[in-house]
């Protein structure tokens, strides 16, 4: 198992995490860790739009660069993290699970995760 796979498995170890995706800013999937049943390519294609919209909002609000975006759906939560100017990470969680420890780990490990790709 590569270091990247180990890092993604560690993120999947957080309660409620069902899928972890690493992708380029172009929306192309680099790595997916999770059970079957997810159209990972389609999810990856949509994530850059979320990151871009959050970046525009942060800029308009005078808040600097967006680094993490959280979207809550009726059936779960998506966390999009900007690993680098070229890389994004998406974490999909089931609904009803606290994810503050996940956000803390993403913030702490962002540079290391980017270096593994």
Output the pLDDT for position 18.
Answer: 96
* Segments in the chain below pLDDT 70: none
pLDDT recorded at residue 100: 94
DSSP classification of residue 61: T
What's the pLDDT score for residue 29?
97
* Count of structural domains, the chain: 1
Q: What is the DSSP letter of 37?
A: S
CATH code for the domain in which residue 93 is found: 3.30.450.30
Other residues' Cβ atoms within 10 Å of the Cβ of residue 112: 11
pLDDT for 36 equals: 84
**C-beta separation of 24 from 88 below 8 A:** yes
Q: Is 34 left (phi over 0), alpha (psi -120 to 50) or beta?
A: left
Question: What number of CA atoms fall less than 13 Å from residue 65's CA on the CB side?
Answer: 6
pLDDT given for residue 64 in this prediction: 85
Which structural domain range is residue 41 located in? Answer: 3-116
């Amino acid at each position: 198992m590569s270091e990247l796979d180990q890092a993604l498995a560690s993120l999947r170890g957080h309660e409620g995490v069902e899928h972890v995706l690493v992708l380029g800013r172009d929306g192309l999937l680099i790595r997916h860790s999770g059970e079957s049943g997810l159209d990972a390519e389609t999810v990856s294609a949509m994530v850059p739009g979320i990151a871009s919209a959050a970046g525009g909002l942060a800029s308009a609000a005078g808040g600097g660069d967006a680094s993490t975006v959280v979207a809550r759906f009726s059936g779960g939560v998506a966390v999009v993290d900007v690993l680098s100017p070229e890389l994004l990470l998406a974490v999909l969680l089931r609904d009803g699970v606290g994810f503050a420890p996940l956000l803390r780990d993403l913030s702490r490990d962002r540079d290391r995760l980017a270096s593994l790709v």
